[in-house]
Amino acid sequence: MREKKKEFSQEQKKELSLPVFTRIEALDEFKKARCILLYWSMDDEVYTHDFINKWYKDKTILLPCVAGDDLILRQYQGIESMIAGEQFGILEPKGAVYQDYASIDLMIIPGVAFDSMKNRMGRGRGFYDRLLKTCGCEKLAVCFDFQIVEKVPTEEFDVKMDKVISTSRIYN
């Protein structure tokens, strides 16, 4: 999958990301959501920066921050609120840790690969699986079409997505 992602330029990945977020904006789950967990995308992921900047003034946007072996959440307050994170250099919001997980209406999650049964393969450290278990809200995974594979290997601790939204379709 890593090699496949390298076949696309950053501009191509940004372009391929647009229909993913057009689909999300049309979903009732998104329209109704007031508090959304998103992620600040790395170069090989569905590009989220423009989407986050478009919506953070209308909805509470939370971004994960790496803290040791776990993810903590902080609210995005604009690009000026971002600093380099502790482990991967990914930009993360500074400020107070967000603790009200019950208020999260929607989670939009990245991954390495997905299958049509809504299984997700992450990067192998379990950051998101541990976080996903803390919230009973709708869980949407986002990906490029080429990230859909026949079968993702799963283990008992893996959390299945409610929907997987790719460049060309929604798996639900």
Mean pLDDT by 10 residues, the chain (172 residues): 89 96 97 97 94 97 88 94 82 93 95 93 74 86 96 86 96 92
Domain boundaries 2-171, corresponding CATH code: 3.40.50.10420
pLDDT tens, position by position, 105-143: 999 999 999 999 999 987 766 677 778 878 889 999 999
Residue 124: predicted pLDDT:
63
Residue 126: predicted pLDDT:
63
Q: Compute the distance between CA of residue 122 and CA of residue 172 in angstroms, rounded to an integer.
A: 19
Tell me the CB-side half-sphere exposure of residue 127, using CA atoms within 13 A. 20
| Tokens, residue 49 | 């920066």
Q: What is the DSSP letter of 163?
A: E
Residue 122: predicted pLDDT:
79
